[in-house]
Amino acid sequence: MITSRDQVTDMIIATKVRKGLKWAHAAEAIGMSKEWTTAGCLGQMTFDKAQAEALGKLFELPDEAIAWLQIVPYKGSLPTAVPTDPLIYRWYELVNVYGTTIKELIHEEFGDGIMSAIDFSMDIQREPDHKGDRVNVVLSGKFLPYKSY
Amino acid sequence: MITSRDQVTDMIIATKVRKGLKWAHAAEAIGMSKEWTTAGCLGQMTFDKAQAEALGKLFELPDEAIAWLQIVPYKGSLPTAVPTDPLIYRWYELVNVYGTTIKELIHEEFGDGIMSAIDFSMDIQREPDHKGDRVNVVLSGKFLPYKSY
Amino acid sequence: MITSRDQVTDMIIATKVRKGLKWAHAAEAIGMSKEWTTAGCLGQMTFDKAQAEALGKLFELPDEAIAWLQIVPYKGSLPTAVPTDPLIYRWYELVNVYGTTIKELIHEEFGDGIMSAIDFSMDIQREPDHKGDRVNVVLSGKFLPYKSY
Amino acid sequence: MITSRDQVTDMIIATKVRKGLKWAHAAEAIGMSKEWTTAGCLGQMTFDKAQAEALGKLFELPDEAIAWLQIVPYKGSLPTAVPTDPLIYRWYELVNVYGTTIKELIHEEFGDGIMSAIDFSMDIQREPDHKGDRVNVVLSGKFLPYKSY
Amino acid sequence: MITSRDQVTDMIIATKVRKGLKWAHAAEAIGMSKEWTTAGCLGQMTFDKAQAEALGKLFELPDEAIAWLQIVPYKGSLPTAVPTDPLIYRWYELVNVYGTTIKELIHEEFGDGIMSAIDFSMDIQREPDHKGDRVNVVLSGKFLPYKSY
Amino acid sequence: MITSRDQVTDMIIATKVRKGLKWAHAAEAIGMSKEWTTAGCLGQMTFDKAQAEALGKLFELPDEAIAWLQIVPYKGSLPTAVPTDPLIYRWYELVNVYGTTIKELIHEEFGDGIMSAIDFSMDIQREPDHKGDRVNVVLSGKFLPYKSY
Amino acid sequence: MITSRDQVTDMIIATKVRKGLKWAHAAEAIGMSKEWTTAGCLGQMTFDKAQAEALGKLFELPDEAIAWLQIVPYKGSLPTAVPTDPLIYRWYELVNVYGTTIKELIHEEFGDGIMSAIDFSMDIQREPDHKGDRVNVVLSGKFLPYKSY
Amino acid sequence: MITSRDQVTDMIIATKVRKGLKWAHAAEAIGMSKEWTTAGCLGQMTFDKAQAEALGKLFELPDEAIAWLQIVPYKGSLPTAVPTDPLIYRWYELVNVYGTTIKELIHEEFGDGIMSAIDFSMDIQREPDHKGDRVNVVLSGKFLPYKSY
Amino acid sequence: MITSRDQVTDMIIATKVRKGLKWAHAAEAIGMSKEWTTAGCLGQMTFDKAQAEALGKLFELPDEAIAWLQIVPYKGSLPTAVPTDPLIYRWYELVNVYGTTIKELIHEEFGDGIMSAIDFSMDIQREPDHKGDRVNVVLSGKFLPYKSY
Amino acid sequence: MITSRDQVTDMIIATKVRKGLKWAHAAEAIGMSKEWTTAGCLGQMTFDKAQAEALGKLFELPDEAIAWLQIVPYKGSLPTAVPTDPLIYRWYELVNVYGTTIKELIHEEFGDGIMSAIDFSMDIQREPDHKGDRVNVVLSGKFLPYKSY
């Protein structure tokens, strides 16, 4: 009996390690970006039927797990409010150090509102650099103005 | 007597509101990007003497405050571990929802290590879009591989 | 020197108590709903110039405070993560008890996404009831579907 | 041996996903609103004997689970004090941003007291809107005045 | 300028210590119970005009403070979530140790619902006892059944 | 192998639900009050041999569990510092709102010291009331004066 | 205007440092142990009139402060739940490491109950030792058995 | 497969309850004090080979568990930062109420440094007293002065 | 099915205790320092294929576990934000007491930036000393200056 | 009136920034290491009379502040349990990532006990390196074995 999406995530990861798969394989299997696909496989996004079945095949999942992939999950991928993993912490640190800067500049440009984390996409790329390669990330979110009424 | 950088940040913000200045003015005054300049004015970066003096002139700061702008500050711009402001929270939410995804994809591409938050730059732009303008953010951080020894 | 919106909120509240004003007076003065106006006066929304000036007159604010009313504030109106005030706590309790229910029903109807807290309005009304009057609240938020990419 | 209501909630959810049921089916089976029924199935409300048996049939529960559905549960449906799931977080954000506003307006209308979260009902509806459909939620709670003595 | 009820509470306490008053004097001055009066003077309840004026006289408060006494306060009298003061902690301990017991017994007697903390009164008395006097407290709260709908 | 009292509590609750027992039955079985008996069955009190055996018979416990009932447990019955269950939260709210009031009044009557939570008893009764029945709770704790030395 | 005992504690400490006094002087002035006197001067105990006046003379306190010394304070001397100061942390560590040991041994000897922290005394002495002097502390607390009823 | 000391602690406690052993029996079996032995059995201290084997015999432990008793454990015996168990809480309360007092008196006698929690011993005794027996605890820790360099 | 690196760490530790291995054996088996090897075995570092296989042989791991050793782990080895174990706490205390000192001195020498925890090595040695042997630790981290842009 | 060491730290820092002093100047003025002197000036160590007077002269402190420098301070230099400043966070990260490694290796070498944070010294040096200079830190702490008794 599968009682939560976390169990499906565990199955996917276990198979991925055992078979030496890459997330790119999963993305290819369903024809979506590697960013969105990975988030979905890690239990943060919802797949449609065809996508779930393709992933089920790739990761050798039982039918019950394939059904769970089509259910909107309880999101949030980190075990603690302040992440302990150094790679993820650096992102938390960016929010901590640059948070008010981001706020000021977006408000200066757009007025009161937010940058959507829902109508949102992310693209992670390697940028070769002779002083050491760089991680380049493009975040794109719709600006949503606060409604006054 | 000024005893912390926070007091200088307060002075800058008070003058900015009173005189109706923009962060772009500050960036222009010291010839740096608006992102880095804003972070610095908000107490997260260190200015050199010329920059500090230019900002002192713009924001009508006393000499003691200009000296403080050249001191490395105690960083961290948010009052709570989980930010309450909706705009900043959306970024925390990105880390929460996409954190493990970012981790997986960077490791898949680069191996074990982190994306630097120090050798790092950020660029925030408005992207016109007929379905509603978007906030486009480019993050660029050097990849630092874990040293084995 | 005013260094934060909180100081302006304090001024507004002090005058309101001293002069015995009601939030309805403030809403009327700027021609907006009482819900949005109150939120703004409590430091959660941004006013335009005309609104800020009208409020400045009503609450006898100095020019510097009127300028602050037009600046996007750092939002979040509660002193603790779990509110201690009984009236506000009941709302937190609703989120705690009904949170997963709300999530399930919105997803069942709309699919994966959220109900916006930005493109959002609220209307609070008294509903007479012989078993004891009721508070009726209508919340209306745009549904924002998660983007897949 | 079933030792907590959580185990029954797990059984219900597992069956729901496996059989592709909707909460509306459960509500229909017991003749109550979908909001209250869902909350109950998720372990927040208490069912009477007939309701528990109808749900037991729908979700293929053992007798012991049906007995548990009639026991008042330990309420609280969220794993963390500040919810990580974006949909539920938006509601927490509403409490955070509008909390003091709600407090002020209810007190202005009713005096000191609270809006009950017990003598309370909720209705969630889809409101078609050409700028994007909206989630409309009506909350209705009895006003309970503070007793002075 | 008085900007919060806390400042009025401070004034009341300062005068009380300076003049050596007892809470019983305050209760007598407004003709209410000592329990409710004390809670109000400590910033947890709202007074009507006559009560506020009587207290203003007793505690030598300025007019602005008397106005504040008639405003519904932001309730919550403790500086930390878990109280450090031994007397108050013992009450928190009772909730911690007996919390589930109280829940079970009230549900066994009344079904699903709560004991109101709003339609509520408290009476604290000294009970002479040769093995050491006892504190006797009677709590009386209306039972509010959960509404099903 | 039973390694903690919690496992015994689970057994008791599971049997209680399955057999439809009431706490009153347990209290009767051992000849103590329903309040103390319930607290004990929920893992907060220690039973003597005869009581443990009577409970073992009623709840069909193995010998090892009966031995555990005679061991002083690690007390504390709530999963979080601030309880999420509405009924129990109301008691936490009483401590939060009335905490300083209780402190003031007990000190005014008794001087510095505490009301014991150990030499303590509790009695929960239903009080019929035409405006809605009330929960009446009598708490009785020995006053313990602070020793000076 | 003195509004809390903390202000009195600050006055006492400021004078103590300025005049180079020792806590032993304070203890001698009121004829009590140095442990209890120090706790009282640090805002944790209540003095009687004669003690308060003697301390007022020693620490050059105004009359209002002397009145405050006779008021039962809100106890708790540490700024954080887990103390950061190394000396005090070692005591917290003892509770953390030996807590369950202390519990087991007291229960083995006395049965269910607690060691009072109210009917309690403490004596701190230097014990000369050629391998390094030791701090010897004797704690004495009345055992209070849990009442069954 | 035993993967942590906690599992061994569980085994010891389970056998102790089942066989009705006392900690004094364990202390006697290895010829050490009851305080240190109990702490070790509860997973806070490290035993040598002979001690581990004697305990293994007494508590009927498998060889793997005996090996674990000789491994330095991850110390800390309490499930929460602020203990919920009343007996252990009283000790936490002592640290909270007397923490700064202890700090002041040790520094007054010894200068800057700490009382060791490592080169430390504890002795718990029953002291008969006609007003109620007392728990007497002697703590002895080496004073360690802060090194200046 | 292995679903996380923690399970592999558990296997390694269980074998280590059972076979009486030392971390030095593991370091030798893969030809790396004992510090880095131990961190890796405890789930904080990533091994290459040859290293993972050598460790698999030493610790008798199944193939699936050997695959996991080559996957970048979710780092962070402590169960609580403030560590309870005395040895590890002392390091946390160093950060707490000396944190601002370290910050000041590194900034005085290098300007704004950090000492890398990634391009980092550590060496732990025993230093014989007649007053008691000392633990000597050398930390070496690359200085990374903050980029201005 | 100076009521805490923090006020003295503020004075020292304010003067240091205003006069452009370095910590090396302070260390030189009192003939101690720069590490210990900085920690002391930041309120973590206790100075003797001569040192306090030399620092008083350098930082232009009033007599009352010089007296405070000779009083043992309440230690702990960070405003939050998890530090937000990136430089200091890296040290916290080291404890988090390497904590169990350090524990294992010290115990493997020394047995059960700790590395003292009191009988402790630290030396921070710049190490030139053509791939980027490094921060070299030597920590030296006495090993203190756990006493068994």
Write out pLDDT tens, residues A83-140: 999 999 999 999 999 999 999 999 999 999 999 999 999 999 999 999 999 999 999 9
Task: Answer whether J41's CB lies under 8 Å from J12's CB.
Answer: yes
- Residues written for chain A: 149
Whether the CB-CB separation of B46 and B75 falls below 8 Å is answered with: no
Contacts of G109 (CB under 8 A, 6+ apart): H124, H126
Q: Residue F5 in 3-state DSSP?
A: helix
Q: C-alpha dihedral over B2, B6, B12, B16, to 10 degrees?
A: -140
Q: Give me the numbers of helices (H) and strands (E) for chain F, helices first please.
A: 6, 2
Cβ distance of H149 and J100 shorter than 8 Å = no
pLDDT in tens, chain J (149 residues): 899 999 999 999 999 999 999 999 999 999 999 999 999 999 999 999 999 999 999 999 999 999 999 999 999 999 999 999 999 999 999 999 999 999 999 999 999 999 999 999 999 999 999 999 999 999 999 999 999 99
Measured from the Cβ of residue I117, the count of other Cβ atoms closer than 10 Å reads 23
E–C touching, 3+ CB–CB pairs within 8 Å = yes
Single out the residue of C89, A66, G124, B55 nearest to residue H99, CA to CA: G124
Listed in sequence order, the residues at least 6 apart from B36 whose beta carbon sits closer than 8 Å to its beta carbon are B27, B45, B121, I148, I149
When pLDDT is averaged across residues F17-44 and rounded to a whole number, the result is 97
**Per-residue model confidence (pLDDT) at position G6:** 97
A93 vs J89, J96, J97: nearest CB: J89
Residue type, D41: C
Contact H81, G11 (CB under 8 A): no
Specify the 3-state DSSP secondary structure of E122. Answer: strand
Q: What is the pLDDT of residue D46?
A: 97
- When the pLDDT of each residue in chain D is averaged and rounded to a whole number, the result is 97
pLDDT of residue A120: 97
Give the residue from chain H lying closest to F1, CA to CA: H14
CB A139 within 8 A of CB C111: no
Q: CA-CA distance, I149 to B142, in Å (whole number)?
A: 14
Q: What DSSP element (H or E) covers F138?
A: strand F134-145
- Is B116 a catalytic site residue? yes
SS3 D115: strand
Residue B145 distance to chain A (closest CA, Å)? 10
Neighbours of chain J (3+ CB pairs under 8 A): A, B, G, H, I
Give chain J positions within 8 Å (CB) of B81: 80, 82
| DSSP strands (E only) in C1-149 | 113-127, 134-145
**What amino acid occupies position G133?**
D
CATH of domain A112-149: 3.30.1160.10
**CA proximity to B35, closest of B118, B125, B141, B147:** B125
Contact E134, F139 (CB under 8 A): no
Token output for F90 = 């109301």
pLDDT of residue E105: 96
Residues 6+ apart with CB under 8 A from C131: D142
Instruction: Return the residue in H46, H49, H112, H138 with the most chain J beta carbons within 10 A, the one to mutate for interface testing.
Output: H112
Q: How far apart, in whole angstroms, are the C-alpha atoms of residue J52 and residue D91?
A: 55
Q: Which two tokens stand for residue I117?
A: 């925890």
Average pLDDT on F72-82 reads: 95
Assign D127 to helix, strand or coil. strand
pLDDT score, position J41: 98
pLDDT the model gives residue F11: 97
Q: Do chains I and G touch (3 or more CB pairs under 8 A)?
A: yes
Coil, helix or strand at residue I122? strand
Tell me which of J5, J8, J17 to substitute to probe the interface with B (most B C-beta atoms closer than 10 Å): J17
Contact status, residue G18 vs residue G32, Cβ threshold 8 Å: no
F86-145 adopts what CATH topology?
Cyanate Lyase; Chain: A, domain 2 (3.30.1160)
According to CATH, what is the number of the domain D5-69?
Answer: 1.10.260.40
Domain with CATH 1.10.260.40 in chain D: 5-69
Looking at chain J, how many residues does it have? 149
Burial, D21: exposed, middle or buried (Cβ in 10 Å; 0-12, 13-18, 19+)?
middle
Other beta carbons within 10 angstroms of residue D64's beta carbon come to: 14
**CA atoms of F80 and J75, how far apart (whole Å):** 30
The 10 Å Cβ neighbour count of residue E81 is 18
Q: Where are the beta strands (DSSP E) in D1-149?
A: 113-127, 134-145
CB atoms within 10 A of CB B24: 14
Q: Which residues of chain G have pLDDT under 70?
A: none
Averaged pLDDT in 10-residue chunks for chain I of 149 residues: 96 96 97 97 97 98 98 96 96 96 96 97 97 97 96
Q: What was the pLDDT predicted at F129?
A: 96
Q: How many CB pairs under 8 A join A and J?
A: 11
Distance from CA of D105 to the nearest CA of B (A): 22
Is there a contact between D1 and F14 if contact means CB atoms under 8 Å apart? yes
Give G98→chain H minimum CA distance, Å. Answer: 6
Q: Which helix (H) or strand (E) holds F76?
A: none
Tokens standing for residue G2: 């003195």
Contact: D114, E118; criterion CB under 8 Å: yes
3 state DSSP class of E75: coil
Of D36, D74, D147, the CB nearest to E120: D147
Candidate from B72, B146, B149 with C-beta closest to I32: B149
Interval E75-79 mean pLDDT: 94
Q: Could you give the dihedral angle defined by the CA atoms of residues E40, E41, E44 and E50, in that order, rounded to the nearest 10 degrees?
A: 40
Band the pLDDT of F111: cuts 50, 70, 90. Answer: very high
Q: Report the complex ipTM.
A: 0.95
Active site residue I90: yes
Nearest C-alpha neighbor of C40 from the set C4, C7, C83, C9: C9
Domain with CATH 3.30.1160.10 in chain F: 86-145
Q: Which of F90, F121, F134, F140 is catalytic?
A: F90
Question: What average pLDDT score do residues E34-62 get?
Answer: 97
Q: What is the C-alpha separation between G138 and G89, in angstroms, rounded?
A: 19
Question: Does F1 sit within 8 Å of H86, measured CB to CB?
Answer: no
User: Given the structure tokens 């403790």, which residue do they identify?
Assistant: E78
E27: nearest CA partner in chain F: F105
Q: How many CA atoms lie within 13 A of J42 on its CB side?
A: 22
- Dihedral sign (CA D81, D86, D89, D93): positive
Instruction: Please give the C-alpha separations between residue B62 and each of B66, C134, F117, I1, in angstroms, as whole numbers.
Output: 7, 57, 58, 66
Q: What residue in I sits closest to B104 (Cα-Cα)?
A: I72
Q: b/e per residue, B90-111, with b = 16+ CB within 10 A?
A: bbbbbbbbbbbbbbbbbbebbe
Contact D122, D148 (CB under 8 A): no
What confidence tens digit (pLDDT) does each residue in C63-120 have?
A: 999 999 999 999 999 999 999 999 999 999 999 999 999 999 999 999 999 999 999 9
Per cent of chain E over pLDDT 90 is: 99
- Please identify which residue in the block is written with the tokens 């009503």: C58
Name the class of domain B5-68.
mainly alpha
- Paired with C114 in beta bridges are C144
